[in-house]
Chain A
Amino acid sequence: MFSLHSTLAEPAGFQLWEKFLFSALIATSAWLFWQRFGVVLKKIFEAKKDADFRLAPLGRRVWDFFSEVMLQSKVIKQRPLPGLAHAFVFWGFCAFALVTLNHAAVGFGIGFLSPDGLFGRFYFYFAAAFALTCAVGIAGLFVRRFLVRPRWLGEHLSWESGFIAFLIFALMVTYLAQFFVPEGSTAVHVLWWAHTLTILVFLPIIPHTKHLHLVLSPATVFLSRGGFSQIPPLVGDEDFGLIAGTDLTQLATLQAYSCVECGRCTEHCPAANTGKALNPKEIVLGLRGYLNEYGPKGEEPLLGKYNSQEAVFQCTTCGSCEFQCPVGIEHLPLIIGMRRGTVNTGEWDDEHGAKLFLALERGSNALGIATAERDKFIEKAALPLFDGSQEYCLWLGCMGAYDPKGREIVADFARVMRYLGTSFGVLRKEKCTGDPVRRLGNDLVFQQLAESNLEAMTRAKVKKIVTICPHCVRTMAEDWKEFGVAPEVEHHSEFMARHLDRLPKATEKETVVYHDPCYLGRYRNVYEQPRDVVRAGGTLVEAERHGERSFCCGAGGGLAFLGEETGERVSHVRAAELAATGAKTVGTACPFCNSMFRDAFAAQGESAPQLVDIAQLTARRLPEVTTSATQ
């Protein structure tokens, strides 16, 4: 029986016919593998090159690979239990590489790991430990998929997954069993063959199923664009975004084939969770279906048989999908890419969308209001004009300049700046940063707005910008890069957090639930600063979904300007979640979120919590001044 003195029993004395049979089986298995894998590889290499691809910075890529692939950090962090089970299977496979190589060599009588040698003995035990955890892991995943059945894995039970789980389990069992059988017995031989056959059946299944991610996803993670929602620049006069297969780049193709169908993207998607057509997983699988049928040289439109225009325009660009994806798929460039393809060619026919585009082609703001209204507000709120002498340019944004509540937030934040003695001024004229048109895929208007704003800022000699709107911050800091260098820009939460020690502390602490705006959290990685600001004025409570997992308010991606949603309203779902914390106050840090919740709470009636921006939360504690003006 097994004791610590047991060693792995390795078969010996293979017959010649066995060696021939083994060779033939290896060749068949490899051939079957290549039958599919070769096709996929060919499609990836045949696809259009990513013009903006740079290998640098290599350090970031190596780190992503080490952290996300080797350490399985994202897999574990975002879904701890199944994530750990998956990690054990993955680490088991890694540990098994050497064992499997030796296993095959043994078949030809040239095994190089001896159970009697020091290293061999150590390594077989080492692998055995991994085999155990791997077996437990895969059993756990099997139970989850077939008995627990979380809904984001889809309604359809994947029998291939079950079979794969069985094969992995069998691999581990046939390996571990070798420790328990006497050296030289027939059982050793039988186990060897059982293990071998399992591997040889497993291999060709990989490229034919979603287990293709075993081979592709390490490359996908390593090669990903990095950053967040990095929208590639259009190249040349014929590039209008993703219209047909010919527009799908090598990265897009690689990503489409890497999807492991885990459904993390779907689980966190605001559209998929409120009964809309959009399901980010299906977007990626749709592209894969397209590539399977038409390939990267396909002339058929991408929006048609495999993906729908309706779904693509339901995305709030909250970025949960891209943030969650464990195999390095970048959903936003894909979804926005398909929007670009249809908007840049004039195919997208939407009444509200066209109205927004026309407002920004002709006017200055997304709300379509006369700029004279902005001038009136600046005068009424007594905001100083930026003349180059002040430290900060206070950027109002469309909401800050035209929306009544946005104006209150700006006025209150201006009070905070005045109290701190920070000099600031507002520009005489501003145009929308282009955020909604960027996300909706209108590159013409986006470019016009970015260039016009950049020029105005250079002329006004703006060095530092602070604004209440995370959408403005993101668009200026990242999306404008294509057209020039924007001044340094920060969100008011970052500014206030830095000066907290100079602001009065609250005497009475109310409970405040803070809602993370997508464009501040996932897009900018700012989670703590606004919380610090809240803590200075109240007792922070957290909604069930917060931080990296915060649920969208429904306004992003230009959707605030489009028509009525189908299904449940995203804003109502989120507002209910915030209210359910029992907090007296909801603290926001984005004028769009604020506006969405304002409507949602209004629908809820009198029991609704109070809704304020964190700048207002701060301004409340300042001593009264006589010349405070709003609206």
Chain B
Amino acid sequence: MKVIVAIKQVPERDAQVRVDAAGKWIEESGFQWSMNESDAYALEEALQLKEKNGGEVVVLSAGPERVGSTIREALAKGADRGIQVESDGLGDWDALGVAKLLAEAARSENADLVLTGLQSDDLGYGQTGVIVAELLGLPHASLILHVEKTDAGLTVKRELEEGWFQSIELPMPAALTIQSGGNKLRYATLMGIKKAKTKEVRKTTPAELGVTAPAVVTLNQIAQPKKQKTTQMLSGGPKEAAAALVEKLKTEARVL
């Protein structure tokens, strides 16, 4: 079973984001980068599938040179080889453009399964994986927590709202977008990093893949959200306050 995992490198979770001078992208200097969280779960799912069924895990990432470190991280965790679509300034490409890059890079691999995270931690479009499936002409399902290989194809566990799950059967090959939290992530190890040094990373470019900058969606401006804080103080004794809190959690916050 050959699984391709498309991974995005995003700013470190608690990086302080500043808008750059042009107002179209963020100031990247001095940033630390890490693997997009739901992509990390997609990788974990792929590695577990390989451990159970054998085969190969190929990681695929598009971006500037720095993306190489995230590919290495994936190789260190157990992926077998990597493909990097090297290009500066993908920041203002829309989801369709990036999906084209990934789909073209994946096409010749003829993988049984293409996995990617549900959405990116930085832009959060939630579209890239779905478009990749469409471009490759593969059946797809989104919000997947667990994948199992069956004789007929795949059985996947899909997250619905309000704590409901759905079990779906799909033929293979297929493309899935993976939700965070379905598995426990493995930690990177020294042995993994050392092994990763000898693993192959193939580099390609948008030009080689025949993909040019798209303009379906143009980015006009990005801005910091305005800070706003509304604190409500609940009055009364512990009993009344607790009852009021539960009511608010149910009706206003809608977490209960």
Contact = CB atoms under 8 A, between A and B. Distances in A.
Answer yes or no: do A and B interact: yes
Interface of A: 234, 237, 240, 343-346, 351, 353-354, 357-358, 361-364, 370-372, 442-445
19 contacts: A234-B190, A237-B194, A240-B190, A344-B190, A345-B190, A345-B191, A346-B187, A346-B189, A354-B186, A358-B187, A361-B188, A362-B12, A363-B13, A364-B14, A370-B14, A442-B190, A443-B190, A444-B189, A445-B188
Contacts of A445: 187-188
Contacts of A353: 187
B135 interface: no
A540 B194 CA distance: 52
Contacts of B188: 357, 361, 444-445
B184 A346 contact: no
B235 interface: no
Interface string B165-209: 000000000000000000011111111111000000000000000
A442 B187 contact: yes
B34 interface: yes
B7 to A, nearest CB: 14
B16 interface: yes
Nearest to B187: A357
Closest A-B pairs by Cβ, 3 of them: A357-B187, A370-B14, A344-B190
B193 A354 contact: no
Contacts of A345: 189-191
Contacts of A351: 184
A240 B191 contact: yes
B186 A346 contact: yes
Contacts, number: 52
Nearest to B189: A346
Nearest to B193: A444
B36 to A, nearest CB: 11
Please report whether the interface of chain A is mostly helix, strand, loop or mixed according to DSSP: helix
Contacts of B16: 372
Interface of B: 12-14, 16, 34-35, 184-194
Contacts of A240: 190-191
B13 A444 contact: no
A172 B213 CA distance: 96
Nearest to B34: A362
Nearest to B78: A346
A27 to B, nearest CB: 51
Given A345-B190, A445-B188, 18 more contacts: A346-B187, A346-B189, A346-B192, A351-B184, A354-B184, A354-B185, A354-B187, A358-B187, A362-B12, A362-B34, A363-B12, A364-B14, A370-B13, A372-B14, A442-B189, A443-B190, A444-B190, A444-B193
A234 to B, nearest CB: 8
B48 to A, nearest CB: 13
B189 A343 contact: yes
B191 A344 contact: yes
Contacts of B190: 234, 240, 344-345, 442-444
B238 to A, nearest CB: 20
Q: Which of B35, B187, B188 has the most CB of A within 10 A?
A: B187
A177 B35 CA distance: 82
Nearest to B77: A346
Contacts of B194: 237
B200 to A, nearest CB: 18
A364 B12 CA distance: 10
A345 B188 CA distance: 9
Which of B16, B35, B188 is the most central at the interface, judged by chain A CB atoms within 10 Å of its CB? B188
A370 B16 CA distance: 10
A238 B16 CA distance: 39
Nearest to A344: B190
Nearest to A452: B32
Contacts of B193: 444
Contacts of B12: 362-363
A346 B191 CA distance: 8
A234 B12 CA distance: 29
A340 to B, nearest CB: 8
Contact of A362 (B13, B186, B192): B13
Nearest to A446: B190
Nearest to A346: B189
B14 A344 contact: no
A346 B196 CA distance: 14
A343 B188 CA distance: 9
Contacts of B13: 362-363, 370
